[in-house]
Amino acid sequence: MAKIAIMGHGTLGSGLAEVARVNRESIASKLGEEVEVKYILDIREFPDSPYADRFVKDFSVIENDPEVEVVVETIGGTKVAQEFTRRALLAGKHVVTANKELVATYGKDLLAIAAEKNVNYLFEASVGGAIPLLRPLFQCMAGNQIEEIAGILNGTTNYILTRMVQDGASFADALKEAQAKGYAEADPTADVEGIDAGRKICILSNLAWGKEVAPANVRMVGISALDLKDVDIAASAGYRVKLLGHAMRMADGKVAAYVAPHLVPESSPLSTVDDVFNACLIRGNAADEVMFYGRGAGSPPLPR
């Protein structure tokens, strides 16, 4: 039996714990052994959780338990998450994360530690939510010279724009709805100002071209300044407003990356990607355009 620990019990961490519980038999049949959540790290109390007896507040419990082979980081941010990830890797444990800020900022260093300790640092879920995107980009499209990446990489902003376009909701009202549904944080700055999408386009660029693209060097413009008038003008001209992360390989081999609202033609498949869904178009010189699509925000829609 493989034993894992989950760091953090917010939307992502609790969703993962639920996946492990609901899909236990399916996961075991695919892996050839059961997966047990041995610990969940969180400073809060969750007495009603089916995992109530597995919560710990001291990371060293996880760090020093030789039975724990895999640690899943869903804390978010870079301070505590970086320290605990680093310590887990140094302890010889595989680490899986959905933390795009951590990967975009410290991924190179953490991958170096993982290589030194002969363990895996995996971050597929850091871009695109439920979409398998990074592995296909890095492996399945390895025979291509990647020319361009353009994607709806933030489900929160896509939900807000969908409400504005389809229902005429104001930005403020659509944001409140997103927060009420758990799609947006109490402080939505990282989402609505394009920071979250910016971190993700950095990760995609790093994998596509093997060059470190730092978030500090990427211009990020969000949707907070948009209003219904902008949306209506775009629609009258045959366009949909979408917040895209965009990266291109230039003629001199350099990489240009940025995040901004785009006017997407209605003929583009990206224009019909609505609600909390994400999509990413990747253009290679051999495959032409390939699109990945799937849920990008909120808890997984599992039966309870």
With both helix axes pointing from N to C terminus, report the angle between 11-22 and 24-31 in degrees, rounded to the nearest 10.
Answer: 70
Which of 200, 211, 229, 242 is the catalytic position?
Answer: 200
Q: Strand pairing partners for 264?
A: 240
Is 108 an annotated catalytic residue?
no
Contact 269, 126 (CB under 8 A): no
Contact 223, 261 (CB under 8 A): yes
| Token pair listed for 75 | 């804390």
Residues annotated as catalytic (active site), given as ranges: 200
